[in-house]
Amino acid sequence: MYEFEQISSVELMAQLAQRLQSRRLEKGLSRRALADLSGVPAPTIARFEQHYAISMRQYVDLALALGYTDQLTMLMKEPIYKTMEELETIRQNKGRKRGRNEGTKG
């Protein structure tokens, strides 16, 4: 059985904020400059870097402005499974357009 590292959403957001800040600084961009490139206000960038709060749309805009289009398009592209049973379920549901309600058959 596969074991996946457990991380909280806050810890993950903190890592994403730190990485975005690192990439911004490596490119020599101020928050104002990144705001001009991305359309995301500089105070929003500061809030994300300090408190990890941002909308998905704004995060994507920032990542695209920094050149991370390929990495974003690869996110969750392939299924991940823990057991062979889960893999079989994934295979059976490939291409499925709707979920199923818990507790119902079919």
Domain ranges of the chain: 9-71
What is the rounded average pLDDT for all residues in the chain? 89
Q: Can you tell me which residue has the tokens 């991380």?
A: 7
Architecture of the domain delimited by 9-71:
Orthogonal Bundle (1.10)
pTM value is 0.75
Q: What is the DSSP letter of 28?
A: T
Label residues 16-39 b or e (16+ Cβ within 10 Å = b). bbeebbebbeeeebebeebbebbe
Model pLDDT for residues 71-91, shown as the tens digit of each residue = 999 988 888 888 888 888 888
What Rg do the C-alpha atoms of the chain give, in angstroms? 18
Within 13 A of 90's CA, how many CA atoms are on the CB side? 10
